[in-house]
Chains A and B, each alone.
Chain A
Amino acid sequence: MGNPNLLSYETIVRATSGEPEAVDEVLRHYSKRIRIAAIENGHIDRDTEDSIKSRLVAALFKFRFDEQPYRKTE
């Protein structure tokens, strides 16, 4: 199924319902991306990294499942 490097559906469901381990896994999964986003003048800014992490956690609970899947184009 799809891209094996992405988080599994079960993890997403558990993370969005607020389970700490799953949230941690999401953070770990995106840690590299977060660190790259927090780079400033060639080194990682700790405060920025923390603020991005807290924003991501806050946004997790706003993720909505009720969107319709896109129709695959033939």
Chain B
Amino acid sequence: MPCTEAYREHIIYTFNGYCKTVIRFAAINAWRDRSRRRQKEISLEYLTEEKFYPLGTTDEYFEAPYEEYPVTVCGQKVILTNGELAAALLSLPEMNREIIFLYFFGDYTQQEIGKMYGRCLSTTGYLIRRTLKLLQRKMEVLSHGESEPFVL
């Protein structure tokens, strides 16, 4: 590119326009960021004075011991500390509850459980998965208060 007078003049004007554009868009960006921040920020005073939002919590672990929910499975008494879990467990059919208990806490294999209940290995695995899913659904219903039809 020859360094002619016209070329220099062109560069000067182009650079001027370039800088102006950069400044304009930088200002627009800064303004946009600022307004976005303002939308999301809430003043601490507003929270504490208008909404009475507690800024700290006190530990309740030592004041209130866990409530205990005894559940009887396979003739053994199991003490649960989660009320929702206990309620969901109690609402399960007897056999599913026992299978879950034997598999996760009784150290039985799926094959042994299957023999005890007259089912084959794959059926037992399916029952366990199915029961866990049902348990999860029941606990969701208990904690959210929604009822969803689900059949085992």
Please tell me if A67 contacts chain B, counting CB pairs below 8 Å. Answer: yes
> Closest chain A residue to B27 by CB distance?
A37
Contacts of A52 in B (CB 8 A): 23, 26-27, 30
Cβ contact within 8 Å between B11 and A56: no
Partner of B15 from the list A7, A48, A70 (CB cut-off 8 Å) is A7
> Which of B1-9, B71-79, B111-119, B129-137 touches A?
B1-9
Partner of B10 from the list A3, A26, A40, A70 (CB cut-off 8 Å) is A70
Cβ contact within 8 Å between B30 and A48: yes
Cβ contact within 8 Å between A56 and B22: yes
Contacts of B13 in A (CB 8 A): 2-3, 6
Cβ contact within 8 Å between B6 and A56: no
Cβ contact within 8 Å between A59 and B7: no
What string of 1s and 0s marks CB contacts (under 8 Å) between A12-35 and chain B? 100000000000001000100110
What is the number of contacts between chain A and chain B, taking CB atoms within 8 Å? 73
Cβ contact within 8 Å between A69 and B23: no
Partner of A1 from the list B9, B15, B19 (CB cut-off 8 Å) is B9
> Closest chain B residue to A34 by CB distance?
B23
Cα–Cα distance between A72 and B11 once the two chains are bound (Å):
14
Min C-beta distance of B27 to chain A, whole Å: 4
> Closest chain A residue to B15 by CB distance?
A12
Cα–Cα distance between A65 and B12 once the two chains are bound (Å):
10
Contacts of B30 in A (CB 8 A): 38, 45, 47-48, 51-52
Cβ contact within 8 Å between A2 and B1: no
What string of 1s and 0s marks CB contacts (under 8 Å) between A40-74 and chain B? 10000101100110011001000101110110100
Contacts of A65 in B (CB 8 A): 1, 11
Partner of A69 from the list B6, B15, B26, B27 (CB cut-off 8 Å) is B6
With A6-B15, A9-B12 known, 18 other A-B pairs at CB within 8 A are A1-B5, A1-B8, A2-B13, A3-B12, A7-B15, A9-B11, A12-B11, A26-B19, A30-B23, A37-B26, A37-B27, A40-B31, A48-B27, A48-B34, A55-B22, A59-B22, A69-B7, A69-B9
